[in-house]
Amino acid sequence: MATIVGGLGLSHVPAIGGAIKRHAEHDPYWRPFFDGLPPIRRWLADTRPSVVVMFYNDHGLNFFLDKMPTFAIGAAPEYRNADEGWGLPVQRPFRGNPELSWHVIEHLVAQEFDITMCQEMLVDHAFTVPMQLLWPGIAEWPVAVVPIAINTVQHPLPSPGRCYKLGRAVGEALAQWTGKERVAIVGTGGLSHQLDGKRAGFINKEFDLYCLDALTNDIQALTQLTIPELVELSGTQGVELLNWIAMRGALPATVEKSHVSYHIPISNTAAASLLLTEPAAKSREQAA
């Protein structure tokens, strides 16, 4: 059985990639955001995951409005990044784990999720920026990856309840896997933001802080929200919270908030990081 070492939520604003490119992490604008990351990096160094399962949303690099799967899973030996027009450096390829991907796909389809399986898949900033934040300046990515793209772009979107169930099914698949992989689950995007329309610039701190608690202690409340309610509360692009909800679904029923950071704004977005671990995991890791 694979071991789920913990769950991470991370914003994926392209401007963060720009700050990394310019080595601007210590500038006054960026510092409050980047200061939230060292505890997560220390945890990664301690727990040494071998695989990242990442719930994220593609913004038009691999899928466009003409063909938009609700849920798409990578089953490729390698995932490439490409220029999306943000001026970010193209990241080196990410190693896949096709055997594990196919195992997850088999389980999801058996559980009646009608997913799209991708033996080729480009990954955009929603995937690369979190990876850069987790492992800055590293010569080789130290993990294999299983990318899972959730449609947060073209309505109708999957409900929070459905995304939670998707995550739960991924967690079940990992529990049934015979390999010894150590898996970190990541959900990217959010928190509240709206890039377009009359409410462009909308941020909802109260709702964000509620979510950071509810993801830990009251996920059922978040799964009751409808998509129109989520848009109202978090903004049109804040619905990327769906990726965090799926991440939470893959974790054990009880988790603790090992680390959280929240900073307004990064570009147009309320930027956050969250680390959720199993309460017993700390002592088990220390004993090992």
Closest CA to 13 of 192, 213, 164, 145: 192
For ligand DHB, give the closer residue by CB, 171 or 235: 235
Selection from Fe ion, ligand DHB, none that 193 binds (CB < 5 to 8 A by kind) is ligand DHB
Phi, psi dihedral angles at 285 (to 5 degrees)? -60, -40
For ligand DHB, give the closer residue by CB, 62 or 268: 268
Least CB distance to ligand DHB at residue 13 (A): 4
Of the candidate residues 159, 267, 282, 285, the single one contacting ligand DHB (CB under 6 A) = 267
Supply angle C-alpha 246, 133, 218, rounded to 5.
Answer: 30
Amino acid identity of 191?
Answer: L
Count of alpha carbons within 13 angstroms of residue 222, beta-carbon side: 29
Least CB distance to Fe ion at residue 205 (A): 19
Q: Is 237 in the site for ligand DHB (CB under 6 A)?
A: yes
Q: Is 269 in the site for ligand DHB (CB under 6 A)?
A: yes
- 88/280 Cα distance (integer angstroms): 40
User: The tokens of 187 are what?
Assistant: 């959900």
Least CB distance to ligand DHB at residue 271 (A): 9
Selection from Fe ion, ligand DHB, none that 268 binds (CB < 5 to 8 A by kind) is ligand DHB
Q: Is 59 in the site for ligand DHB (CB under 6 A)?
A: yes
Q: Is 268 in the site for ligand DHB (CB under 6 A)?
A: yes
Lay out the site mask for ligand DHB across 6-45 (x = CB under 6 A, - = otherwise): ------xxxx------------------------------
Catalytic residue positions?
125, 193
The answer to whether 219 touches 7, Cβ cutoff 8 Å, is: no
Contact segment (CB under 6 A) with ligand DHB among 17-25, 95-103, 207-215, 264-272 equals 264-272
For ligand DHB, give the closer residue by CB, 12 or 162: 12
- 58/206 Cα distance (integer angstroms): 27
User: The tokens of 222 are what?
Assistant: 């978040």
The answer to whether 179 touches 241, Cβ cutoff 8 Å, is: no
Selection from Fe ion, ligand DHB, none that 13 binds (CB < 5 to 8 A by kind) is ligand DHB
The answer to whether 147 touches 123, Cβ cutoff 8 Å, is: yes
The one-character DSSP state at 240 is: G
The answer to whether 192 touches 234, Cβ cutoff 8 Å, is: yes
Binding site for ligand DHB (CB under 6 A): 12-15, 59, 189, 193, 195, 237, 240, 267-269
Binding site for Fe ion (CB under 5 A): 189
